[in-house]
Structure 1
Amino acid sequence: MRTGAIAAILIATAVTLGTAHPAFSADAAFTQFIVSLWPEAQAAGVSRATFDRETSGLEPDYKLPDLLLPGRPATGAPSQAEFVQVPADYVKEASIARLAAEGQRLMQKHRAALTEIEKRFGVPGTIVLAIWGRETDFGRHRLPYDTLRVVATQAYVGRRKEQFRTEFIQALKLLGEGAVARRDFRSSWAGATGLTQFLPSEYYKHGIDLDGDGRVDIWHSVPDALASAAQQLVNKGWEAGVRWAYEVKAPVNVDCTMGVPEVTKPIAEWLRAGFVPVRGQRLSAAEQAQPASLLQVEGIYGPAFLTTKNYFVIKEYNFSDLYVLFVGHLADRMVNSQPFATAWSASTQLRSADVEAMQRHLTRIGLYKDKLDGKAGMLTRAALGAYQKSAGLKVDCWPSEAVLRSMSGGR
């Protein structure tokens, strides 16, 4: 009988038995699932010795989030701070100030590497330092999970099985090639590893040996990790010489529903429409010619920004506006001590379930066509503003209790 058939029978048995012997049944099926991946690993260049050594005794971690387990309620990804905290809590001044001070010290310590990064990739050293600071607190945060176990579990019972099947094979390649020792191969619950948090496949796509020792080491070599982060940004479209965003004062009558990537126009047009760079900043003709989108992460409250192409490149690293604001602002603070010119408001964040309920309602009435994820991102905020217009409510593009009550009454 083929290995795949055996695995299928064991998985079916685990589901049928329910909770009678869940650990034994599921683990036996997991072992067969791992065995079934050998041909793919072999085709990718993993040796039999590496496969047997690294998978021997490998067990799934059913405590990970984002799994689909038979007989258990579906679990989602954990509530990332980027998506459940209000901006004032996420882009916290105390955290920014502490990391900026440390970043200034590291700018001096790694000046040669950062100079080379800026020369080769056109990415400011402060940007890659800020990514390092946000991702692992400049290496002080110890990642809690064994990477191979994480990607194997996610490939077996995760929501994104095919993606993690690839990551599992790539993780085996890393171990087989000696890129990293298993004891140092630590990751987040989603398999991101190294000082600047790469998936195993991203190591092969973007990894750079900047320190010249003949190997790409994103776990111990700061030059390699920062250069690899810069290479990833370049591969995703980073444009040299362009800022990530400009903070502006929005006009009183601003239409917050314009705050989506699809509404992009030269910065000069935004300025003519009444948007004013903060603190009297004067933009050059080249800067004013750059295309930009409006960003108001608290709706009409708090700071407003004109975001360039590079803003969205950083967003490829982590699909959260607050993440990009944190990284961009931290990078700025390493060379300028001034905080945002406009303070964050005292807004409150609704529960993810409430935001998802809003998204469902907005979808039903044709105002929203994106994911139902409970996250108040750009498209959700714009759709909320459109709903507020149609319902005769104050248009602030923010998910509030008042809007939720209005939607509930209209069902």
Structure 2
Amino acid sequence: MTILALGVNHKTATVEVREKVAFAADQLEVALQSLTQLGHVSESVIVSTCNRTELYCHLEQDDLTPVIEWLAAFHQVPVSELNQYLYQHADEQAVNHLMAVAAGLDSLVLGEPQILGQVKQAYQQAKEAGTVGTIFERLFQSTFSVAKDVRTNTEVGQNAVSVAFAAVNLAKHIFSSLSKATVLLVGAGETAELAARHLSEQGVAKMLIANRTRSRGEALAATVGGEAHSLSDLHSLLPQADIVISSTASPLPIVGKGLVESAVKKRRHRPMLLIDLAVPRDIEEQVGELDDVFLYTVDDLQSIVSANRKQRETEAATAREMITQQAAAFSAWLRSLNSVDLLRRYRQSNEAVAEQVLQRAMSSLASGKRPEDVLQELSTRLTNTLMHTPTRAIQEAGRQGDVTALAAYQKLIKN
């Protein structure tokens, strides 16, 4: 009996490889059921995101080869090609890995919160497909519990660790709320897109996007609910903007002191926050000399990001200790399910009860009690003592609606 974690992620495979083995949402039910039909896979959950594809399987034997062959065949990728990107963990290491993934400790951005929701969704889809049983039910509930504890009791997910996120956090500190702010994004590349998504999550009132290529600006605007403009419109857009975040690939500054000075006058000196994420700079350094203008560069934000990364790493060490303890506790529970150990402990427990009741009966006989009374007392006491624990277990299963446990108890009392 083995718990297996098998997959590829951003550390082991390029995006092209990850795309080859990703599971679309409409494939998951068929994939999960196909996987459990291999014969020795009794339970399975598939986690598939842009950064990872992982199979979690409860195996009846230790041979992992059929699972690897199944994954390769399902996606029509040669096993020889797939093997060079795969990692695998077994038993307690697999449990530890799953818990670390759910807590955001194995993510591209340390501590990112989205992965927990993705793992929960994967578990729910597997439940609906009928591939989660008693072992994985306990495993994933333990995983969600420790991930929640990590979020609650550490700061591994706190503070910005990307310049785009840091820029938005800076804007939140200067403007207590972004719900009434107008933001101008200059550029529509990867950094601008990341900033736009963070701004959208903060409920920014209005987002203007100015880009050299209008079509790319329109594509980003459609994604985040903004307005697309060309760079030639900057003179009319700047006076509207409370916050300007610029991140183009221009070799020369495109936002000059004169342009911003004119915008401030039209705004009647309402303050403006300008954040320059570009290298080389998009915004002239002299803009920072203007009254009512706050200018920050990528270097200002990088120092914040660097300090935050160190803080997250420190918190991650605490989180890993929490996960190690929870993984060990789950593994101990799993080992307790071993039938040989269970039978031995069950026999020892009953023998101890019988010995205790017998000694009490022998004492009663020695004190002169009638043998018939002693035997009756022995029978009643032995029956009640042996029935106590199973009775409480059946009652608790009934209260919890645990039909799996009730079905197992039913087998014990069949004639």
**TM-score, normalising length: structure 1:** 0.21
**Computing the radius of gyration over CA atoms, which structure comes out larger, 1 or 2?**
2
**TM-score, normalising length: structure 2:** 0.21
Give 1 or 2: higher helix fraction: 2
Give 1 or 2: higher strand fraction: 2
User: Which structure would you say has the larger RCO, counting Cα contacts within 8 Å and 6 or more residues apart?
Assistant: 1
